[in-house]
Amino acid sequence: MNSIDESVMKVIKDAIVTVPGVVSFSNFNADSRDELPTSEIEKAIEFTNTDNINRFRIHVIILSGVNIRDVLKEIQIRVKYELEKMSKFTVKYMADIVVDDLA
């Protein structure tokens, strides 16, 4: 797994915390449900760099009762746009959002 630049992680974090329905990030390496919630963005992002696209798998916990599809789509749109804006639209990004739990 490649490392993620800190400025990229900050952009992702700032984009996600503003999405209504997101409770917290989720630690994808957690051994139990109690260890899932995390405020550390680096524990919630998996990164894959292919030939011409940077792909992120972002783990979140969302609020029970919200429209899951709408929340996930909003996260994808915001993250992708903010990352591409940061790179002046010269780099392609893909964001896969994983819901690890509902709160």
- Give the structural domain span for 18: 6-102
When pLDDT is averaged across residues 8-28 and rounded to a whole number, the result is 94
Q: What is the pLDDT of residue 79?
A: 95
Number of domains in the chain: 1
Q: Could you report the per-residue pLDDT of 25-78, keeping only the tens digit for each?
A: 999 999 999 999 998 999 999 988 777 888 999 999 999 999 999 999 999 999
CATH number at residue 88: 3.30.70.1350
**Token digits of residue 70:** 């709408």
* This model's pTM is above 0.95: no
Q: Is residue 42 part of a domain?
A: yes
Q: Are the CB atoms for 38 and 24 separated by under 8 Å?
A: yes
When pLDDT is averaged across residues 6-18 and rounded to a whole number, the result is 93
Q: Is residue 37 part of a domain?
A: yes
Q: What is the pLDDT of residue 1?
A: 41
When pLDDT is averaged across residues 78-94 and rounded to a whole number, the result is 92
**Token digits of residue 98:** 């994983």
Q: What is the dihedral of CA 13, 19, 23, 24, to 10 degrees?
A: -10
Q: Is residue 1 part of a domain?
A: no
Q: Is residue 12 part of a domain?
A: yes
pLDDT band at 24 (very low <50, low <70, confident <90, very high): very high
Q: How far is Cα 85 from Cα 99, in angstroms, rounded to an integer?
A: 25
- Please spell the DSSP secondary structure of 18-74, one letter per residue: TSTTEEEEE-TT-SSGGG-EES-GGGTEEEEE-SSEEEEEEEEEE-TTS-HHHHHHH
